[in-house]
């Protein structure tokens, strides 16, 4: 609907998946998994509500289909948005992930940057660290029971998993590092 979906589609197809853009509820009902891209979470939240895509995502989740939210996608999946970082009037949230996120948490000075992150679950203990691109990114300020932290940037939680749902503050689709998408596809294969 909005945001950086085409690069996710390209990455997943390079890895042998059959990825396509999902705009309507049926596109999600027929898929084995779903990526909610980065972009603008307020806009994505409004659009998914308008077209009934929110209900299709909740149904996919209830079915156990793997879901991956990047950046704005992480915000849309969250149960709670930290006070002061929410748009006035509230913001549509799916509430699938038992986390609190603070939007635009890195501030104006450094609203975009690239770095490397340790994430042994994705890279193995001896693999090179993940390359991560952050763009006006959120951080996770609270995790509920059953939420596993996959990576931190300094002390900030930026990559989590809860059941078959993963979410990252950063954009792996903007790098040549395909390991996060491989990990997502491994969840689909397991299912
Ligand atoms: N700042 C955006 C938001 O709050 C997210 C940015 C992104 O997805 N790269 O929705």
Question: What separation in Å is there between the alpha carbon of 116 and the centre of ligand 1?
Answer: 20
The atom number, within ligand 1, closest to the CA of 75 reads: 10
Q: What is the pLDDT averaged over residues 150-161?
A: 97
Contact 76, 43 (CB under 8 A): no
Torsions phi, psi for 82 (to 5 deg): -60, 140
pLDDT in tens, 13-28: 999 999 999 999 999 9
| 89: pLDDT strictly greater than 80 | no
Write down the pLDDT at residue 92.
72
pLDDT in tens, 52-68: 999 999 999 999 999 99
Write down the pLDDT at residue 6.
96
Return all residues near 74 (Cβ < 8 A) that are at least 6 apart.
97, 101, 138, 140, 167, 168, 169
Predicted structure pTM score: 0.95
* Atom 8 (ligand 1) nearest CA: 38
**Spatial CA neighbour of 67 closest among 57, 56, 81, 55:** 57
The atom number, within ligand 1, closest to the CA of 71 reads: 8
């Amino acid at each position: 609907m909005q945001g950086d979906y085409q690069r996710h589609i390209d990455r997943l197809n390079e890895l042998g998946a059959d990825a396509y853009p999902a705009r309507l509820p049926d596109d999600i009902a027929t898929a084995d998994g779903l990526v909610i891209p980065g972009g603008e979470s307020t806009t994505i939240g409004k659009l998914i509500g308008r077209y009934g895509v929110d209900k299709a995502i909740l149904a996919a989740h209830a079915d156990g289909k793997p879901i991956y939210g990047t950046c704005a996608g992480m915000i849309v999946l969250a149960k709670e948005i930290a006070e002061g970082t929410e748009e006035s009037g509230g913001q549509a949230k799916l509430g699938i992930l038992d986390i609190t996120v603070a939007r635009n948490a890195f501030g104006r000075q450094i609203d975009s940057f690239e770095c490397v992150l340790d994430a042994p679950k994705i890279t193995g203990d001896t693999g090179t660290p993940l390359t991560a691109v952050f763009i006006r990114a959120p951080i996770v300020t609270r995790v509920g029971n059953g939420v596993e932290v996959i990576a931190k940037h300094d002390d900030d939680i930026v990559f989590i998993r809860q059941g078959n749902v993963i979410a990252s503050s950063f954009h792996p689709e903007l790098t040549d590092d395909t390991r996060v998408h491989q990990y997502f596809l491994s969840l689909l294969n397991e299912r």
